[in-house]
Amino acid sequence: MSLLQEEREIILSNEYVDNFDFAEVTEFVKNASKDLFISHHFKNKNNKKMLVQPRGGFPTYKKQFALNEFFVKANVDVLPLTIDSNTRLNDYATAKKMLRLSEENDVDMLNGYPLVNHGYRTTRKMITHFNKPVSLRHGTPDARLLIETAIASGIFEIEGGPITYLLPYSKNFPLDKAFLYWKYVERVCANYSKLNEPINRESFGPLTATLVPPSITIVIQLLEMLLSLEEGVKSFSVSFAQQGSMNQDIVTGAVIKKLAKYYAEQINCGDATINLVYHQWMGAFPTNKDHAEQLINMATVIASMVGADKIITKTREEASGIPTKEANAKTVANTQYTLGILNGLPNVVDEEEEEMLTLQVKAIMEAVFNDPADTLWRKVFNSIKNGIIDVPFSPHIINHNNMITIRDAKKNIRIIKRGNVPIPDRCYAYDKAQCDLTKDTTSIVNDIIHDIGIMQ
Amino acid sequence: MGDYALGVNYMKVVTGVVGNDIHVVANRLIELSLDARGYEVFNLGVNTYLEEFFDAVVETGAEILMISSLNGEAEGWSREVKLLKAKYKGLDDLIMMIGGNLVVGTGNAEDIIPRYKNYGFDIVCHQVDLNTGLDMLETLLEERSIKSSNTIKNTTKNKTKNTTESND
């Protein structure tokens, strides 16, 4: 028996798992409907239509089923399954208790679907009933049991990664452990990918959604992609969120597509399919619900300009908490409508900005690869530890927080203090030249506060 | 304001977000602003428990403890401040400041401020903007004329700091 299989058996002999049947699950994946695989949809997109996927998860099976019915009526392309926060922290006991309370009282005591507690036999009934691809949305540093349950349920897209699910969400969880736990996830996904269509892995590009410069976003996307491909994953989505400047989004999209292909080929994984996912605005949302709808609509237009393969939607209720299924489905229908009428988009190319961004990304990637560690994950780990990668506004203790970013007059995110990140001098000077830096720090802090709340 | 640039007021501040609160944005901005005003900042970040704050004050010899909260759970923790502080020796002169959203849900400042003063805080800022809050701290320091006594030890440190910055 392989080491991986031994580890799998330990993980799946958890007291909250009801007798995981490896042979049956393998048979299920082998014979599963192609429609359940988002990788299959990416490959066979009619007229290159962007796939639309909302966010959403409710504690009970009944409510999740009802939400999915609403989404299907709204012509959804990809269904979400958002996992509750207890499960994300591997606290299945609390999730179980809260699920029971939710079922008995008809009040939601969890902010998502406790997949491990529901189990794969139950959940699979729902997934196969709708016969749409489902994307697993969570935020779990140790997702080993969760993704085993997900794939056994028929969920063939797994979001997350060791960096993007840790740096924005956690203060103390050890990053080196996260890399190893995610290595398990990649291997399991890679192995299942041999049976039918590939399991798609997706990285979480929005990170802290607070003034993250595109170079940092792209570097982290590329590194999680490489960590995934080197384990044998054959379908991967890089992603980023609306940044606040249409031009910067278009430039980011162009550079990330080009460099994802380039770096995948560098490690002889050019045969993997790389997709691009765009998140509608992930920062602070307007409380005015009509304004929220305008923002969402604009994001859809930008996603089309960027040429995304999938868009992940927000709702008009974003500022006020977990959205109702009605509001959530409405966004899906509206986004589909907007995509349907967006025709004859111009092709915008900004060569200077693309060059600057490419130089930044390549310089950081080179510094990561030059780390003397023996494996890629250790190189990445060291690079975060020594500040070569620095994510603005990450709460994690390992993050340096020495990079400072601000918006220029056109609302592009610019680096005005690079910390230990090896931004080339030329790019650094270029970024700073776009901003008014004659102000004192107090005014700059006020500008940053304004720049964070730009959409409110 | 010119005084700060000269490094006259170089005091130590321990800051962080109390409890299981993970809201990090304002915490970073507080650090930036304190730094700009010439304080030496020890930022414990989000998700910090009361004991950690007081331990850090003892460890660093900070004169000021600045606690923040966004989700409002500060109130639950603040009830224990006096008890806990009494267990530490030599913290009588520590300036205690708290700011952010200080209640879960809504409440008005007239009720909240006296309550928190009673918990042991010298300055209470409920939904007050960052710079106004920091100005309040300056005023208190001037009233207690603490600033001048700290002049001497600062000069060298600030020089080192400026050198580091010019490298970047």
Domain spans of chain A?
Answer: 3-341, 354-452
CA distance A363 to B54: 42
**What pLDDT score does B165 carry?**
36
For residue A419, list chain B residues with Cβ-Cβ distance below 8 A: 168
- What architecture does CATH give domain A3-341? Alpha-Beta Barrel (3.20)
Judge residue A103's burial from the number of C-beta atoms within 10 Å of its C-beta, 0-12 exposed, 13-18 middle, 19 or more buried.
middle
Q: How far is A404 from chain B (nearest CA, A)?
A: 10
Determine the residue of chain A that is closest to B30 in CA distance.
Answer: A445
Determine the residue of chain A that is closest to B23 in CA distance.
Answer: A395
pTM value?
0.91
Contact residues of A toward B, CB < 8 A: 169, 171-172, 208, 210, 392-395, 397, 401, 404, 417-419, 440-442, 445-446, 448-449, 452
Task: Name beta bridge partners: A236.
Answer: A201, A274
Q: Quick check: is B109 in a domain?
A: yes
Q: How far is B140 from chain A (nearest CA, A)?
A: 20
Q: Quick check: is B112 in a domain?
A: yes
CATH no. for residue B58? 3.40.50.280
Asked whether residue B110 carries a pLDDT value surpassing 50, the answer given is yes
Count how many residues are written for chain B: 168
Q: How far is A209 from chain B (nearest CA, A)?
A: 11
Judge residue A312's burial from the number of C-beta atoms within 10 Å of its C-beta, 0-12 exposed, 13-18 middle, 19 or more buried.
buried
Do the Cβ atoms of A202 and A234 come closer than 8 Å? no
For residue B25, list chain A residues with Cβ-Cβ distance below 8 A: 210, 393, 452
Facing residue for B33 by CB, picked from A208, A417, A445: A445
For A268-291, give one letter per residue: b (16+ CB within 10 A) or e.
Answer: ebeebebbbbbbbbbbbbbeeeee
Facing residue for A395 by CB, picked from B24, B36, B131: B24
Count contacts between A and B (CB, < 8 Å).
46
Q: How many domains does chain B have?
A: 1
User: Which residue of B15, B28, B44, B168 is the best one to mutate when testing the A interface, meaning the one whose CB has the most A CBs within 10 A?
Assistant: B28
Of A316 and B159, the structure prediction assigns the larger pLDDT to A316
Q: Which residues of A are catalytic?
A: 88, 159
Q: Containing domain of residue B138, as a range?
A: 12-150
Closest CA to A203 of A189, A223, A232, A188: A223
**What pLDDT score does A322 carry?**
81
Asked whether residue B113 carries a pLDDT value surpassing 90, the answer given is yes
Q: What is the DSSP letter of B104?
A: S
CB contact (8 A) between residue A171 and residue B130 = no
Asked whether residue B151 carries a pLDDT value surpassing 50, the answer given is no
For residue A208, list chain B residues with Cβ-Cβ distance below 8 A: 24
For residue A449, list chain B residues with Cβ-Cβ distance below 8 A: 29, 130
Do the Cβ atoms of A214 and A240 come closer than 8 Å? yes
- B46 close to A (CB below 8 A): yes
CB contact (8 A) between residue B168 and residue A418 = yes
- B28 close to A (CB below 8 A): yes
Q: Quick check: is B43 in a domain?
A: yes
CA distance B168 to B165: 6
For residue B39, list chain A residues with Cβ-Cβ distance below 8 A: none
Facing residue for A395 by CB, picked from B32, B36, B46: B46
**Helix H or strand E segment including A95:** helix A92-105
User: Which residue of A94, A431, A442, A451 is the best one to mutate when testing the B interface, meaning the one whose CB has the most B CBs within 10 A?
Assistant: A442
Residues of chain A falling short of pLDDT 70: 45-47
Q: What is the pLDDT of residues B2-52, one digit of tens each?
A: 344 444 558 999 999 999 888 899 999 999 999 999 999 999 999 999 999
Determine the residue of chain B that is closest to A417 in CA distance.
Answer: B168
Q: Is the ipTM here above 0.90?
A: no
Distance, CA of A412 to chain centre = 22
Cα dihedral A30/A32/A38/A44 (nearest 10): 90
**Alpha-helical runs (H) found in A230-350:** 246-266, 289-306, 325-341
Q: How far is A136 from chain B (nearest CA, A)?
A: 23
Determine the residue of chain B that is closest to A169 in CA distance.
Answer: B22
Do the Cβ atoms of B57 and B65 come closer than 8 Å? yes
Q: Quick check: is B98 in a domain?
A: yes
Facing residue for A397 by CB, picked from B37, B45, B130: B45
Q: How far is A431 from chain B (nearest CA, A)?
A: 14
Q: How far is A174 from chain B (nearest CA, A)?
A: 15
